Amino acid sequence: MTTFDLFLQQAINGLSLGAMYALLALGFTLVYGILELINFSHFNVFMVGSFIALWTLQQFGLFGQETILVGLPLAGVLLVTFTVTMLATGVIGVGIERFLLRPLRDVKGPAAMITTIGVSYILFNIILLTVGADSKNFPNPLPPLQIAIGGAVLRLREVLIWIIATLLMLALTFFVQRTKLGRAMRATAQDPEAARMMGVEVDRVIMTAFFLGSALAGASGLIFGLYYNFTSFLIGFNAGLRGFTAAVLGGIGNVPGAMLGGLIIGLVEAFGGQLIGSAWADVIIFAILVLVLVFRPAGLLGRLAPNRS
Interface with another protein (CB under 8 A): 36-38, 100, 103-104, 107, 109-115, 117-122, 124-126, 128-129, 237, 241, 244, 248, 279-280, 282-283, 286, 289-290, 293-294, 297, 309
What is the spatial distance between Cα 97 and Cα 214, in angstroms, rounded to a whole number?
Answer: 11
**Looking at beta carbons only, is 59 or 125 nearer to another protein?**
125
Question: How far apart are CB 58 and another protein at their closest, in Å?
Answer: 23
Question: How far apart are CB 302 and another protein at their closest, in Å?
Answer: 12
**Looking at beta carbons only, is 113 or 154 nearer to another protein?**
113
- DSSP-derived 3-state class of residue 1: coil
**Looking at beta carbons only, is 56 or 245 nearer to another protein?**
245
**Looking at beta carbons only, is 138 or 233 nearer to another protein?**
233
**Sequence letter at residue 126:** I
Question: How far apart are CB 43 and another protein at their closest, in Å?
Answer: 10
Question: How far apart are CB 134 and another protein at their closest, in Å?
Answer: 14
Q: In Å, how far are 8, 16, 151, 272, 275 from 3, measured between CA atoms?
A: 9, 20, 10, 15, 12
What is the spatial distance between Cα 79 and Cα 62, in angstroms, rounded to a whole number?
Answer: 15
**Looking at beta carbons only, is 111 or 170 nearer to another protein?**
111
What is the spatial distance between Cα 93 and Cα 120, in angstroms, rounded to a whole number?
Answer: 11
Question: How far apart are CB 23 and another protein at their closest, in Å?
Answer: 19
- DSSP annotation of 230 reads E
Question: How far apart are CB 258 and another protein at their closest, in Å?
Answer: 15
**Looking at beta carbons only, is 74 or 100 nearer to another protein?**
100
Question: How far apart are CB 293 and another protein at their closest, in Å?
Answer: 5
Buried/exposed code over 122-136 (b: 16+ C-beta within 10 A; e: otherwise): ebbeebeeebeeeeb
Angle at 263 between CA 262 and CA 269, to 5 degrees: 90
| Burial of 72: CB neighbours in 10 Å, binned 0-12, 13-18, 19+ | exposed
**Looking at beta carbons only, is 98 or 155 nearer to another protein?**
98
230-231 and 146-149: which strand pairing? unpaired
Closest by alpha carbon to 272, among 257, 256, 260, 288? Answer: 288
The total number of residues written for the chain in this structure: 309
